Amino acid sequence: MVCSSTQGPTVEFEHRDVVLLCSNDYLGLADHPALRQSLAHASAEHGPGAAASRLISGTHEIHRKAERRLATLTRMPAALLFSSGYAANVGVLSSLPREGDVIFSDALNHASIIDGCRLSKARVIVYPHGDVDALSRSLQRERSKASAAYVVTDALFSMDGDLAPLVALRELATRFDAALLVDEAHSVGVLGPDGAGACASVGVVPDLLVGTLGKAMGLWGAFVASTPAVLDLLENTARSFVFSTATSPAASATCVTACDLVRDADTARAQLLRNAARLREGLRSRGWDVPASDAQIVPVVLGPAELTMQISAALLELGFFVQGIRPPTVAEGTSRLRLAPMATHDDDVIDSTLAAFASVEHMRPG
Ligand SMILES: *Cc1c(COP(=O)(O)O)cnc(C)c1O
């Protein structure tokens, strides 16, 4: 499966023009002319490679600048760049929570959080997805047995499209003296004032915020935002940070441009969310199983994996690229098409997508 370009509402995929509905490039920045130009200029000015890990000689002024801008974007005190969101979660969870601590983790958290928990010496308690009452009971029972506690959640769950109950989680974490870590991979740039994220959209300040540059920001790489003291600790103990080459200075300079584009993308954000609402409403009214949400990810749950791939293939035949999502990414029997409209789509694109779904309706499970 090879995509040759992501520009505009259609992309060339296996030599055909198709509507792209399964990327994380929500705002259309991955192929934005300003980012292309920025990366080219940044490469000339700052060089492509950092030449060392951050603690040896790989910290460039531009890394610090990008970190200040990411902190401003997410309205957090400070930020630290990581090479990817995967590395950020694994680094945070394997270094901050120590033996004798406890991590409370949502059952549907991203694989990188699960792997970080596996690497941690802390005890891990998985609570049912989004279940504040179950988490509260668990905290009541288990919190006092541990030294430090962490509550860890995705902000916007990427395969279900729903938002974590952030206000209630913040309240519980504070009440039980636990740190709240929120992974905003799918919400930075999309939700909140100036794209600050889901936490900012509901006035929640997490203790740690993980964001990736590879989704709405159109680049690659990631960051952790927190207080300078916490980041100082991470900088010296998160093994995925310490023992990894610093992110590209050119990419970090481009990240500064991406921060500007994201901050100024109110119109794109409104269009994106309008597209998602139109798509979700249209599909639900035609009887497709689409969970309710106000965010930009629109999953169509079908069940059997093979059928999901068949409907995906039929849609591709019609010119709509909607990848099927199967186990182990989602639970057995809940295979789905995960639709992610883009800000570069308009009503016509959404309506033609709905028409394509109508023409494969006969394939839908009873
Ligand atoms: C994509 C994603 C990551 C990983 O980010 P990368 O920068 O792609 O490694 C982490 N957490 C969540 C919730 C994600 O969706």
Q: For residue 6, is pLDDT > 60?
A: no
Radius of gyration over every alpha carbon of the chain, rounded to an integer in angstroms: 21
pLDDT confidence of residue 15: 75
Q: For residue 20, is pLDDT > 70?
A: yes
Domain with CATH 3.40.640.10 in the chain: 33-263
Q: Measured between alpha carbons, how far is 175 from 13 in angstroms, rounded to an integer?
A: 51
Mean predicted confidence (pLDDT) in 190-199: 98
Q: How many Å lie between the centroid of ligand 1 and the Cα of residue 155? A: 12
Domain with CATH 3.90.1150.10 in the chain: 3-27+266-363
Of 81, 110, 154, the one to substitute when testing ligand 1's pocket (max ligand atoms within 8 A of C-beta) is 110
pLDDT confidence of residue 9: 64
pLDDT confidence of residue 4: 52
Active site residue 110: no
pLDDT confidence of residue 1: 47
The closest of 110, 75, 294 to 206, measured between CA atoms, is 75
Q: Measured between alpha carbons, how far is 126 from 105 in angstroms, rounded to an integer?
A: 5
Which band of pLDDT confidence, cut at 50, 70 and 90, is reported for residue 11? confident
Of ligand 1's listed atoms, the one at least distance from the Cα of 110 is: 13
Given strand 149-154, what is the order of strands in its sheet? 78-82, 222-226, 208-212, 178-183, 149-154, 102-106, 123-127
Q: To the nearest whole number, what is the mean pLDDT of the chain?
A: 96
Q: Measured between alpha carbons, how far is 225 from 227 in angstroms, rounded to an integer?
A: 7
Of ligand 1's listed atoms, the one at least distance from the Cα of 186 is: 15
One-letter amino acid of 142: E
pLDDT confidence of residue 10: 75
pLDDT per residue over 121-156, tens digit each? Answer: 999 999 999 999 999 999 999 999 999 999 999 999
Q: What are phi and psi of 120, to 5 degrees?
A: -80, 150
Q: For residue 109, is pLDDT > 50?
A: yes
pLDDT per residue over 26-77, tens digit each? Answer: 999 999 999 999 999 999 999 999 999 999 999 999 999 999 999 999 999 9
Architecture in CATH of 33-263: 3-Layer(aba) Sandwich (3.40)
Active site residue 145: no
Q: How many Å lie between the centroid of ligand 1 and the Cα of residue 40? A: 25
Q: How many Å lie between the centroid of ligand 1 and the Cα of residue 161? A: 14
Residues with CB under 6 A from ligand 1: 84-86, 89, 110, 112, 154, 158, 183, 185-186, 212, 214, 222
pTM of the model: 0.96
Of ligand 1's listed atoms, the one at least distance from the Cα of 89 is: 10
Active site residue 38: no
Fold entry, domain 3-27+266-363: Aspartate Aminotransferase, domain 1 (3.90.1150)
pLDDT confidence of residue 7: 52
Q: Measured between alpha carbons, how far is 176 from 28 in angstroms, rounded to an integer?
A: 41
Mean predicted confidence (pLDDT) in 290-297: 95
pLDDT per residue over 311-353, tens digit each? Answer: 999 999 999 999 999 999 999 999 999 999 999 999 999 999 9
Residues 6+ away with beta carbon under 8 Å from 88: 82, 112, 210, 212, 222, 223, 224, 240
Mean predicted confidence (pLDDT) in 276-296: 97
Which band of pLDDT confidence, cut at 50, 70 and 90, is reported for residue 3? low
Q: How many Å lie between the centroid of ligand 1 and the Cα of residue 85? A: 5
Q: How many Å lie between the centroid of ligand 1 and the Cα of residue 363? A: 32
Which of the following is catalytic: 46, 63, 110, 215? 215
pLDDT confidence of residue 95: 98
Q: Measured between alpha carbons, how far is 210 from 179 in angstroms, rounded to an integer?
A: 13
Which of the following is catalytic: 46, 63, 186, 345? 186
pLDDT per residue over 67-95, tens digit each? Answer: 999 999 999 999 999 999 999 999 999 99
pLDDT confidence of residue 166: 98
